[in-house]
Structure 1
């Protein structure tokens, strides 16, 4: 987005002038996160979670690099190398707990970031590419986390890899070949650890590259805001620095306090005790579950229990991947010209029901497969797909939104209400301000 009123970078010191003329890195930073980047003046604390996700990724990369110096990616020694890190490496227990719980913190802030995007319509035009890149980042995170969960080579790591990769064999013709390619053999073993370790080390840097594209795409239309109304002029914006760097700093302080509490007081809260038992291919755990952030998708995977044209296992695999791929089409499934759910009362209630449905799927994914839980999972899975494929298109076409404010400034000064929008105002809501 072009901001004619944005403050321009003007280096004063001769050294900075020389550097700016040859490698304009200071100018780039200034325009990206400094006073040269105006943002809507009404952003709330839900806009902190994008920055927090970046901080969480940096924590994962730094701790992961150090842990990789002491980890042995061999089936015979992987488990004992983790014990060596915990007991013998200086600060190793802290690094291991920071890395394991950092993954959970990363997913927590990303899930909140996604919920914010759903609620405020940040996936709508002209920000579709930002949303699509965000979904790509989410998929890369899931692949990285799954491979990382296998590396400690505990009971749940081994059997999680066995069960999850086993579902790929349900794909007709190429399924068995895909599973053998993933594992490097017919069962999780040394080859599996080697390739999972190399990919787990590589993918965070791919995620970092995707995040750069994500931020680049964000700077073209500019940030969305709680009203969903486009920026009309300098009165609607403030410089990113110092206003939002201070606000992000406060959010970062809260994040680090929660992170530290998790590491120092309850480091195994989000883990599974079976992972402190060395992997044994001859002893199957009574209840195999993935990490908590995969539980809703695991519930969808398990919800298909009967064959219909295709096998139940294949339906489960297709539904699990389809539940994520649906997010790619969200900008076109929701045709409402109004972005923010603050002005869409009907859609807001369905969004709350969807959130409750995802929590129910998470519960079912971690619970034993009793008849009651299977039925709950099937109901929750059905609603999940109905929300995106049926409810959302119908509501977006038939809902009558509340009146939009004429500008961000009006919403800030007078609250969330406003005058009834004219046709041009509603249409202009979908077009980035020049």
Structure 2
């Protein structure tokens, strides 16, 4: 009788899910294992390029990788995992038509990624826009352009001021890069609005910490804040959003003003699907895994990425940061460990020392800290583009991004709103920014 082939179920098709499954396709021998990947969207989004999608310099289709054509040797199921009973080796999946199906497995890989972290701020769920999906990036671009049109068409100064006020909450990578790229785009679009001036635009960056961009070091963070302020952007450290109910922004530094657009980029948290499993979680509701990426105290279960508390063996007592750099490398190590265990071998610890950080501050401006070397301005911006171009999956997407950059360099930017004025849905989220 033919021996039964182990079934590997991968939950999540983001950075970890796609990278891991691609590597399993390369490493597994024919008939050694069967792999199924479940994802609510059916495509992977390369999030570092979302700011450039919002600015219109990168086409949305070039930052998403459809899973089925990318993984021809894998069974891809488009649906949302709603429950995992690992003791029974069963996962429940809700498909787009609302029906549920159960998928049995032998080995589980948990990599659902993260979602926007929200706080009980009045008006946040009703009025703020998130920035974690390509749909949200396109929506933000359209929203900004539509409000430029509104501001030029109105004779009411209060309506104009409200339409031209944009508040970004969160001074990490996502908030700073999104604000810088969108402000660049809005300033450029003003060339087509004769009734508006650059001084009419108001961009505000709200950050609860002592400084923006804590990932790049104090000196470069100060430089980044100075660059933004020189452009007229209000950078407000040690400040939080108290309310945005009714479009009225209230900050803890005492300021109150109307703003038509509030963008919420204040961090991420573990995916809520983990709460519907029988797997061990930590106090932040992240999956507890060991340094070799096996789930603590559980057989045949693995985890990696933003929703997992992965010990950082290069800094004992700490955990790996929830970023793409760690996610991709953890995925490769997990795939190699899984193949080793299937063949009777032993897994190895995930070990990766952080090599640096890069961030864009808009066109031709950026900051970078790589292996102790600090760069700023054009060299840092160029390094940012080259780094992320090398990391975006598939040759076709790389070519598409390059062509988009070339078009933006040779021809005027497109400044037309598609009229997408309703925030897109985010899977697994009952209330979202």
Instruction: Tell me the TM-score range normalised by the shorter chain.
Output: under 0.3
Which of the pair is proportionally richer in strand? 2
Larger-Rg structure:
1
TM-score (norm: length of structure 2): 0.22
Larger RCO (CA under 8 A, 6+ residues apart): 1
